[in-house]
Structure 1
């Protein structure tokens, strides 16, 4: 089971952006590969800290994590902020280390003072899910058009940066000479330039190719949630790191059921006679029909709660409920005999409304629903 991101960095949930950054820098320096050569345990902790920082340093990702936990990103199929390699970490967060390691260098992994591997661009798609698929989880196969390195492409050392991936510039300031490193504009930081390429490849040696990607979507996702499939975006030139495939969830509206978080709502309409006499009804649930029994004299507005018949929690905290809203349908067109029956009972005490003290008002029911 994954550790809590706040626990990994040793911070509270209400930690500020500066506190999160400070905590990550402390952990990253403590477990940095240059300080712990050959120590696999330290390397794993270094990656854990980077994964925690990637999520908690982004306000939107942090909000999703606070609400849904690891499942908001990891899911069942390898989604999420994690699964980063060393090149990912140094290319994204290298500036945080400052001069902690020999003027900004990061050994053989790349970073502030050495060559780093370029990362390909991300791709984004939208996947539509039915309510049944949301409730049960689903594996989707989608066709993605992504850039890959063309066969036959060869590279040579970039002449602009001599394979370093960065251009060093020295400027004179009132404080003295300052040296800064910027990503090489020629090779994009890869340290390599194209030597030969086929005619059908673009200037970066890439071609477009269709690929079928299998996406395992966990149960309980919500509309608008974004999942990440690592390495299924566009390739990067040379020996770069492929980008990611970002999957946006779009929930298709159900014909009968309305979703509210993990709970589902169903409007059940019954006749006046059924309300008086009581009846058994088949209710449309997310995994098939459910039979319920309505007692004699049930009132319109009654809400029946079917435990565990809603949507599963992303955090494996069980499932929501199915709330059945009973609505008594009042007939609009009656024949003479039917009208005569009701007219004869207008003053009958059995037909006079006598709400019990325990019966909640409409406004109380609305208040309960949203609390």
Structure 2
């Protein structure tokens, strides 16, 4: 990656301007919602109360119909319906893996599509959400990185993925029952889907503020993990303005190898990244940074790599997630042998760091880590390839 690499927005990464019409309330922060209501005629003295009421209907109960908001007057409900909408991304397709993992294909404004993955476990349910259509980072082991960046997702499109999954899981509380009376099927969020979250900071921040709000979706900040490939200037802001847990796509112990695997390393190398992590405002023994490390056969999986990794992160409260490489058609790498992964993990563990080996989930539906790539883009590519084959 050169100094010209895209950290600033350009015409391709800015969402297209939508036609004039009703304003979507999904994705607006409390401040934004208040301003929108006042602009459309709600008296300023009433605006705060109205925000509280509407917020609860949308994010606590999952209501999309203004006319069902029965603690508002009929006249005010009609005004809301005339001026606003409550819209989330459209669910186009759902695949369910043999292990229970669900992969959703969702359509957003402009007809673009992104993938979202829900991973059920015994003690939690984790939703892996996307922040961009495509990705700029071109990490060589990642299938998503082979899809060009189209644009950033809006805050509405990011939080809308959570709402869509709660719809599918039938997780919204029934009106009249307490929010704690039903099991929490979606308990954790990881920003590890399509895109680099820190190249879309403001929209990610606003969406996560909505997700963490105690009067709505109400997820603890410690149940939200943002994964970055190393956008160094935005790392401190993540702690200050979002406050969630941090994960880093690390994957190599030398700049030479990381330059190939994670090209953003050419802009902010390992030393610069680790300096930023050591200064991360929230890092502590109770809020460790997660280092993600994909295991690639013969590339980054030697005993020397494991020992070097331990030395590099020395002094940083951390855990290392070892990720067996999830292969995809045309992938240039192979998964490390299982005994090699276990030996690598043992070296890290004996050095005093947790080193869990992530169990691959959803591989049969291409939903595992590094495999996401919107189905429509795959279909278009397949059609181009078919069209390029001469007729017999």
Q: Output the TM-score relative to the length of structure 2.
A: 0.20
Larger radius of gyration: 1
Q: Output the TM-score relative to the length of structure 1.
A: 0.21
Higher helix share: 2
